[in-house]
Structure 1
């Protein structure tokens, strides 16, 4: 009689893990290592949703500009009804996202009042008229400052500076009300679309115009006066990252420039630290500034040495001649 080995008792070579299984295990190890390094583990399930906040900004834009950004085509009598519908939808979602942020911070701040998010949204709603007036002033400044513009409507819909300004005006109010993550997400949505990076904490006066705009950076504690014009690749930044220097309290918490009223800053200029640019000053292109500039000044970089003038000079001579100009 032939003896047959049971199927369950047969031995087979071990199946090597698939690339997917190996990647999953490696990702689990990376997650565990990250969480073990954190002093405070927060519930990231409460983190505000970027996609939801994109919808909020779209609804708020339609509320602020029903016809140009909301595409409303009804009669003037129906316009308020359109605004009410969009505003209620925006505020409902915004309250949910602010509540998520409050939940994210509660480990440090302690349990929060469930009505706190509703109160913040109510206070934010009261600023919408001021936001609209500020954005209007920015659009008008762009129209006056750019001879290529054919209409204010073109600026509001198309110009990256106007788009970034609208996002910043919304984000700044939310930042001031105590929702810094929600505000930062809104500012980064604008950055993604325009290449303009304005921290929501920055204070910016009326009639603000960013011409062209790509590469503009404005830091958290910057203060920008009224009727200021910036061109592309302007940076209003800090001199050193916080924590890497022995700065005093003022320098740590007021670390970005103050730009006076009616200042013009041309392309490629970098201004670092808590320096003050006086009213009506003009800063030329590609200037590097670390010190104050008086009012009504004009600052330009030294004229470059022509190549034929530099013939026969070594690099040290060239640099010395440039410094003397």
Structure 2
């Protein structure tokens, strides 16, 4: 058994090694001069936008139509101000030694207002997603239930707002948002993906949608679906290259199907069966399925060795 002196010495040696890593490996040290956006504040922003777009569903404060104008103004102003702070941090990352920059501050403010101006259009599209979930799931019960409790819709909501920030060139924050949704829903949608209206993810767990994926209107996908790259061995050389599939309008993709590759196009009105593995384009109006495996059934009185029934 170690003495207290031995424990202290080992602890001191370990601290020295870890501290040397901080000094030698710049990537490990995001403290001091380098500062990253605050994850907790990003989550607060997500929830504030959700309350703004769907008042009365989330949050502790009761929503009254008589005060809706004040409520909207207060929420929008709060989101813009809080988001601006985080965008400034994101834009300044790695440039902190240059000191305060009025240019970065002005750019962050401009982005924040442009983002807020997109709220009505984002909400319009989200309402088509609500319709898609309600129309496509007989178990939904109501559109209110979709908004309040469906993980697929929650992931789509976060994606929609993160995608706007992605288009505005904001670093860090869009992916932080979608990874927050990923951790809560099991649905991984890269903010760079392009997704049309009336989009529905049923059940959702295990769904992956890659950065350069393009999805048309009225598309429905089930749990475990992967819209991914055929190969990423070239790593950063593939940055900006179309490496994920294109899904046409009115396509349904059933559970655990994998559709891979930037040249792969699933034609409109096609249906992709469960567990399919697709790396080639599919023409419009096509049904794709894998051959059912052969099943063997044995009765209670069946001989396990001969496969014959006893008389």
Q: Is TM (by shorter chain) over 0.5?
A: yes
Q: Distance in 2 between matches of 1:113 and 1:45?
A: 16
In structure 2, the partner of 1:243 is 234
The Cα offsets for residues 52-111 of structure 1, whole Å up to 9 and x where unpaired, read as: 10000111111111122345534312012112212211211100001000001548x996
Q: Offset at 1:245?
A: 10
Q: Distance in 1 between matches of 2:190 and 2:236?
A: 22
In structure 2, the partner of 1:65 is 54
User: How many aligned positions are there?
Assistant: 291
In the alignment, which of 200, 205, 215 is matched to residue 214 of structure 1?
Answer: 205
Q: Tell me if 1:88 matches 2:77.
A: yes
Q: Offset at 1:127?
A: 0.3
Q: Tell me if 1:27 matches 2:27.
A: no
The Cα offsets for residues 200-228 of structure 1, whole Å up to 9 and x where unpaired, read as: 00000001000000000000000000010
Q: Which runs of 5 or more residues in structure 1 are unaligned?
A: 1-13, 309-325
In structure 2, the partner of 1:140 is 131
Residues 153, 299 of structure 1: alpha-carbon distance in 2 compared, 3 angstrom cutoff: same
Q: Offset at 1:147?
A: 0.4
Give yes or no for contact 1:197–1:218 (8 Å, CA) kept in 2.
Answer: yes
Q: Distance in 1 between matches of 2:20 and 2:192?
A: 37
In the alignment, which of 250, 255, 271 is matched to residue 282 of structure 1?
Answer: 271
Moved over 6 A (4+): 40-44
Deviates more, 1:182-191 or 1:17-26: 17-26
In structure 2, the partner of 1:267 is 255
Q: CA RMSD in A?
A: 2.9
In structure 1, the partner of 2:144 is 153
Give yes or no for contact 2:245–2:260 (8 Å, CA) kept in 1.
Answer: yes
Q: Distance in 1 between matches of 2:110 and 2:222?
A: 38
- TM-score, normalization by structure 1: 0.82
Give yes or no for contact 1:42–1:104 (8 Å, CA) kept in 2.
Answer: no
Alignment of 1:57-206 (within 5 A): 57-70=46-59, 72-104=61-93, 106=95, 112-206=103-197
In the alignment, which of 191, 215, 219 is matched to residue 224 of structure 1?
Answer: 215
Q: Which runs of 5 or more residues in structure 2 are unaligned?
A: 298-311
Structure number with greater Rg is: 1
